[in-house]
Amino acid sequence: MVSRSRPQGYSAAQIILHWLIAALVVYQVVFGEQIAEAWRALRRGVEASPEATFGANVHVYVGLAVLGLALLRLGLRLRYGAPPAPAGESAAQKWIARLTHFVLYLVIFGMPVSGALAWYGGVGAAAELHEMAKPAIVVFVALHALGALWQHFVARNDVLVRMLKPARQRG
Ligand code: HEM
Ligand code: HEM
């Protein structure tokens, strides 16, 4: 059932999934160079270095793990919802937060799917889209993290703390 009431905070499962996915996405972006090298070699029909092959395999499995965890996360989000925006926030701030979260959901679903289409299906356009997303991911993750830190240190509300401390045991 989709929840209509708004919870006070996130559950322990939602919090663990948030930080686990965040760590894996950062890993993918920071160490993505190796699969890019393996992909170039594959396209040219030459053999990739053992390091690039190993890095590519890790990238594929970490990326597929993100997709599985993201599905779990979306399920919890639809079932339990998310806490409301902090009181006193302007419509523009709410809109920016909503847009940023939407883009981040797009990243954790769209990146594994486009990557798999490239890697398993040989779809060149999917590979290009996947690679082109890199700077956008960096910008939106930075915006998101800065927003969280701003809420904590400048606006001094509980937005960051509620992604660290479970509200109550659910899900
Ligand atoms: C790569 C990494 C990340 C991804 C993909 C990501 C994704 C998301 C998404 C989709 C939400 C919305 C949750 C929902 O309501 O359904 C969220 C919430 C949140 N994230 Fe992240 N995040 C990342 C990194 C970070 C970092 C580095 C920080 C802190 C410095 C952070 C702090 C927060 C906080 C505080 C919330 C709760 C916002 C609220 O309750 O209004 N996230 N994140
Ligand atoms: C959350 C999941 C994922 C993220 C954030 C991600 C991120 C990235 C990034 C940033 C690059 C570019 C690296 C660079 O040029 O430095 C890249 C390349 C690549 N990734 Fe992923 N990836 C994810 C999942 C996957 C999956 C599941 C697969 C395959 C099943 C995959 C296959 C590829 C391929 C083939 C390339 C090379 C594309 C090219 O250079 O045109 N990725 N990935």
Distance 88 CA to ligand 1 centre (A): 20
Distance 24 CA to ligand 2 centre (A): 12
Q: How high is the pLDDT of residue 170?
A: 44
Q: Specify the length of the chain in residues.
A: 171
Retrieve residue 113's tokens. 């799917």
C-alpha span between 126 and 112 (Å, rounded): 11
C-alpha span between 39 and 75 (Å, rounded): 33
Mutate to test the pocket of ligand 1, among 101, 137, 140, 156 (most ligand atoms within 8 A of CB): 101
Q: How high is the pLDDT of residue 4?
A: 56
Q: How high is the pLDDT of residue 171?
A: 44
**For a pLDDT cut of 90, what percent of the chain falls above it?**
91
The DSSP secondary-structure symbol of 154 reads T
Residue-wise over 105-118: b if at least 16 C-beta within 10 A, else e?
eebbebbbebbbbb
The protein residue with its alpha carbon nearest to ligand 2, atom 2, reads: 63
pLDDT at 29 over 50: yes
The 10s digit of each residue's pLDDT in 88-111 is 899 999 999 999 999 999 999 999
- CA distances for 99 relative to 33, 127, 141, angstroms: 28, 25, 12
The 10s digit of each residue's pLDDT in 48-95 is 999 999 999 999 999 999 999 999 999 999 999 999 999 889 999 999
pTM of the predicted structure, to 2 decimals: 0.94
| Other residues' Cβ atoms within 10 Å of the Cβ of residue 30 | 8
